[in-house]
Amino acid sequence: MPKRIAIDFVSDVVCPWCAIGLSSLEIALERLKGEVEAEIRFQPFELNPDMAFEGKNRDQYIAAKYGRSPDEIKAGREQIRDRAATVGFTMNTGEQSRVYNSFDAHRLLHWAALADNAKKQPALKHALLRAYFTEGLNIADPDVLVAKAQEAGLDPTEARAILQSDRYAPEVKQEEEAWRAAGINSVPAIVVNRTYLISGGQPPEVFEAHLREMANRQD
């Protein structure tokens, strides 16, 4: 009988290490099949909560925020692309890539986690990550978000109605504040059974070892 665990995957749609971490985590869970069974709930975290709709050039944004040189930014981009490839995720970010506001994406993810749609939240998360990192789309654009919601099997009419209102905005803000209050200040943060924390986009074998250990602690 597999040991059941609950995973809160705290992340942002515009976080490259979150995309890598999710793919890596899923590989680890596949390796643990029959031993560990996990329910993943995606939780909101905004790296750029004040970002305007049109976004900013990603390299310029990183240079201003972290003080990195063009060579350091290029090397970091190549490292991320290579790491993503090892876990089967395609990163197409380049010098012209932009950083966008992700709040509306988180509102749709919150909606997708509700009772009627719960099994579709992972599909929407994957669709949004691919939209941003692989397809280079503006995930602040309502048309993009509606298309990705439909791709995930959600009702596009309802998705657009949500985006045209402030529905789920208070809930998302409350969840973000709760995770920050719990000490989460960088992502991805993988919280197991609301007790154990695994930080960062770890390799599959690291997730595998930690999840096995945490599951065994339930005995």
84: in domain = no
pLDDT for 116:
67
Residue 152 has pLDDT above 70, yes or no: yes
Q: How confident is the model at residue 96 (pLDDT cuts 50, 70, 90)?
A: confident
Share of the chain above pLDDT 70, in %: 98
pLDDT for 1:
86
Cα–Cα dist 109/154, whole Å: 11
pLDDT for 34:
94
pLDDT for 145:
98
53: in domain = no
Residue 69 has pLDDT above 70, yes or no: yes
pTM of the model: 0.95
Averaged pLDDT of the chain = 94
How many domains does the chain fold into? Answer: 1
202: in domain = yes
pLDDT for 217:
84
- Nearest partner of 81 among 170, 29, 19, judged by Cα: 19
Pairing mode of beta strands 196-199, 56-57: unpaired
Q: How confident is the model at residue 36 (pLDDT cuts 50, 70, 90)?
A: very high
56: in domain = no
90: in domain = no
62: in domain = no
Indicate the residue type of 8.
D
CATH number at residue 163: 3.40.30.10
71: in domain = no
> What confidence tens digit (pLDDT) does each residue in 107-139 have?
999 999 996 666 799 999 999 999 999 999 999
130: in domain = yes
- Nearest partner of 18 among 186, 163, 181, 150, judged by Cα: 186
The domain in which residue 125 lies consists of 3-48+102-216
